[in-house]
Amino acid sequence: MTWSEFQFKFQHIRDNKLFELFVITVIILSSLMIGLKTYDLPSGVMTFLWVMDYAVTVFFLIEILIRMAAEDRLVDFFKKGWNIFDFTIVVVSLIPLDDSQYALIARMLRLFRVMRLISFIPELRVLVSALISALPRMGYVALLMFIIFYLYAVIGNLLFAQINPTLWGDLGISLLTLFRVATFEDWTDVMYETMAVYSLSWIYYLTFIFFSAFVFLNMMIGIVVEVLDEEHKKMIALEEEVASNEVMAHHEKLEREVADLHRKIDVLIQQSSKGS
């Protein structure tokens, strides 16, 4: 059997939906096993979990090798970001658990196996891609939010440091207090304490909440929703392109088969004419 025939079989396995579902099931079970190890279990159960962990590691290694072999060229496998992500997780999972120097690191890295669900479920890939694409835009909103936090923290320190140094003693503490206000964690207690001295200090808190909780938060949500819509459109366009390519490939295959059939008919006609 030639390598191209092996490659065709690997491609068939890689594109099989049942195989993808089985891989997802193994990923989920692997994640559950990591969670079970946090409990105080009998030694027999722990031994079984260790054996299953090695079995899952071997399965993931075989699975990634099948996907790599299914590519026409090996370099094509590493052209996709999600393939690199899966390959990295599989490689770091090969760190042995019985080495005392790297055991803790190996156990922590195995936690990232559950993130392979992202690469296997298209909807999750769209969400993560949208989040990554939105980060640059969100960065500018975060920068503007930091400026507002900084201004209000300095003002709060100047006005309220004498009232409660624990909450407004310096810039860092003031920023933490403003974060508490922005997340609505007992922020009214902070406000009423300063209102006892400055009756109009409620303006300070309400304007800050308006900017931080309403304006900037909605800007963040708007950016994510917009980018998510763009990613959905890209995914639909990609699916349509793949479907179109498959139809064209099938059409070309039919044309080749019809051409071969015509050639065979012509040969038969020539042979029959010679025989007569």
**CATH code at position 203:** 1.10.287.70
CA angle 229, 231, 236 (to 5 degrees): 95
Question: Whole domain around residue 53: which residue ranges?
Answer: 3-120
Pick from 208, 212, 197: nearest CA to 159 = 197
Residues 101 and 159 in one domain: no
Give pTM, 2 decimals.
0.60
Mean pLDDT computed over 163-178:
93
The count of domains in the chain is 2
Mean pLDDT computed over 134-144:
87
For residues 161 and 248, give the distance between their C-alpha atoms in angstroms, rounded to a whole number.
73
Residues 13 and 93 in one domain: yes
**CATH code at position 116:** 1.20.120.350
What are the contacts of 11-17 at 24+ separation with CB within 8 A? 11/70, 13/66, 13/70, 14/66, 14/67, 14/70
Q: Is residue 186 part of a domain?
A: yes
Q: Is residue 12 part of a domain?
A: yes
Compute CA distances 94 → 5, 36, 82, 90, 179, whole Å.
30, 20, 19, 7, 41
Q: Is residue 263 part of a domain?
A: no
Each residue of 47-102: pLDDT tens digit? 888 888 888 888 888 988 888 888 877 788 888 877 888 888 888 777 766 655 56
Residue 164 banded pLDDT, cuts 50, 70, 90: very high
Residue 242 banded pLDDT, cuts 50, 70, 90: low
**Residue showing tokens 């109009």:** 200
For residues 165 and 162, give the distance between their C-alpha atoms in angstroms, rounded to a whole number.
6
More confident residue, 265 or 186: 186
